[in-house]
Amino acid sequence: MGVANIIGLCLGWGLILTSIALGGFDKLRIFWDLPSVCIVFGGAVASCLVAYPLKSILGAHKYVLISFTAKERDPIKIIEQIVALSESARREGLLSLENHMDEIENNDLLKTGIRMAVDGMSPEVVESIMNTEIDAVNARHLYGKGVIANVGKYAPAFGMIGTLIGLVLMLADLDPDKVGAGMAVALLTTLYGAVCSNLMFLPWADKLGLINDDEMMSMEITLKGVIAIQAGENPRVVKQKLLMYLPPAQRPAENEEA
């Protein structure tokens, strides 16, 4: 996921800089204005401080990093792991799964579910606790997505505010010889706000949404798998049931033949 993120940013900024450079490299410097940068980014952060607690804003960079570093989950591997546990439980008994806990990697929810099943909790309690965990993870992810999305929402607004401020200052001390330059500087904040919102913050928020959807599907597969193992279902039935969560194109070919 991070590779696509980097490629998209490089391509987007490359297209913008190239279109500017086509007008002449000497024009590049007029597209930089520090006060405009400050009002766009500072204003967006200020609005988020009004909307969210301070700790959420101080930790916002973590949400952005997740959009670069999150690894795509492989639901096929999760299903294969659950089927393997189902086969062990079918062959050796549910309590034997305690000896296979170390084999479960990168799936804390599966470990928790199997441990509760081995401890003899009822299927209803196991499902309730796992659903609570899934809902909590979903809420945390959507909260982080909301923070980044709101930065992207506020940035264009402050770009327009900066433009209006620039126009007011220009018209207050109107000089016909400086109207063009003053108007160009005033419009820069609108440009900064639009670019930062549509190339950075809103796409990052959408990426966080996709990452969350991917994790929610994996957790739902895990939940159904644990319940099926606890119910003592046939491993082949467990596999077929879990594969239904995947699009037909992602299912193993042997499944489609069957």
Which structural domain, as residue segments, surrounds residue 18? Answer: 1-29
Domain-located, residue 106: yes
Provide the 8-state DSSP code for 244. T
Q: Are residues 24 and 123 in the same domain?
A: no
State whether 40 and 19 are in the same domain. no
- In this structure, is residue 121 part of a structural domain? yes
d(CA 214, CA 101): 24
One domain for residues 183 and 71: yes
How many domains does the chain divide into? Answer: 2
Same domain, 25 and 37: no
pLDDT of 51? 92
Rounded distance between C-alpha atoms, residue 189 and residue 34, angstroms? 10
Q: What whole-number distance in Å separates Cα of residue 140 and Cα of residue 8?
A: 26
| Alpha carbons 162 and 176: distance in angstroms, whole number | 21
- Which phi and psi (to 5°) does residue 70 adopt? -60, 135
**Do 62 and 139 lie in a common domain?**
yes
Same-domain pairing of 133 and 47: yes
pLDDT in tens, 124-161: 999 999 999 999 999 999 999 999 999 999 999 999 99
Place of tokens 């949404």: 209
Same domain, 20 and 48: no
Backbone angles phi, psi at 137, to 5 degrees: -65, -45
pTM for this model (two decimals): 0.84
Residue 198 DSSP one-character state: I
Using one digit for the tens of pLDDT, what is the confidence trace for 119-129? 889 989 999 99
Q: What value does the mean pLDDT take over residues 15-23?
A: 84
Residue 165 belongs to a domain: yes
258: in domain: no
- Do 111 and 23 share a domain, yes or no? no
Q: Where are the alpha helices (DSSP H) in 93-197?
A: 108-118, 123-172, 179-196
